[in-house]
């Protein structure tokens, strides 16, 4: 199952938890990266999200900026972005 965790965060707790692969992508990203969205990072409870991610049965892959601290992310890749910026992408576990 692929989950976007964000605006419907209360519903995320109701998702079934079968033992199969789970790919989880927080809606806006934590820290400064998520502040420009209507449902941005300041509205998400990352501590609860981390507990929820760890509770999934089966294989779990959670994507986030590797500098995020709510789970122990490791850097996966660096991508070119607009205006000469770069995007870091990390995964857990």
Domains of the chain, by residue range, sit at 2-92
Per-residue pLDDT, 71: 93
| Backbone torsions φ then ψ of 44, nearest 5 degrees | -100, 145
Q: Reading across the β-sheet that carries 60-64, which strands appear in turn? A: 2-5, 22-26, 60-64, 86-92, 74-80
The residue written with tokens 């000469």 in the block is 84
- Average pLDDT of each block of 10 consecutive residues along the chain (93 residues)? 49 69 72 58 77 89 88 91 83 91
- Enter the pTM of the model: 0.70
Strand, coil or helix: 50: helix
């Amino acid at each position: 199952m692929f989950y976007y965790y964000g605006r419907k965060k209360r519903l995320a707790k109701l998702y079934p938890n079968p033992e199969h692969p789970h790919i989880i992508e927080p809606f806006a990203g934590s820290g400064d990266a998520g502040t420009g969205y209507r449902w941005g990072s300041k509205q998400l409870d990352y501590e609860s999200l981390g507990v929820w991610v760890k509770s999934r049965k089966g294989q779990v892959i959670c994507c986030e900026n590797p500098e995020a601290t709510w789970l122990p992310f490791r850097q996966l890749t660096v991508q070119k972005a607009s205006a000469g910026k770069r995007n870091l992408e990390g995964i857990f576990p």
